[in-house]
Amino acid sequence: MTTKTHGHPRNHSAGRQPDQRQIASASSVRLLRLPEVCRAVGLRPTAIYLLEREGNFPKRVHLTERAVAWSEQEVSSWISQRLLLREIAR
């Protein structure tokens, strides 16, 4: 079931709590705010949001009603995919 909290969807899994693996996995994730993402990928915010909307960039995570971030691992994977595509195109 999905409900909205402050305009953002929140998933509820029938009252189930996350298991220890999910907690351990989530605790090792580093989140990057927009300026860090821009520096990492060399794009401006508008390009990042456009790529995300088109499904060609990792989706942001809502931290609060007004703050978002991206998974460092997902952004790094996106960069790696771009490098791989460059090699394939040669």
Can you give the CATH number for the domain in which 77 is found?
1.10.1660
Range of the domain at 22: 2-89
What are the two backbone dihedrals, phi and then psi, of residue 58, each rounded to the nearest 5 degrees? -55, 150
* pLDDT digits 0-9 by tens, 30-76: 999 999 999 999 999 999 999 999 999 999 999 999 999 999 999 99
How far, CA to CA in Å, does 32 sit from each of 13, 52, 86?
Answer: 27, 15, 25
Q: Residue 27 and residue 21: Cα distance in Å, rounded?
A: 10
**Structural domains counted in the chain:** 1
More confident residue, 76 or 22: 76
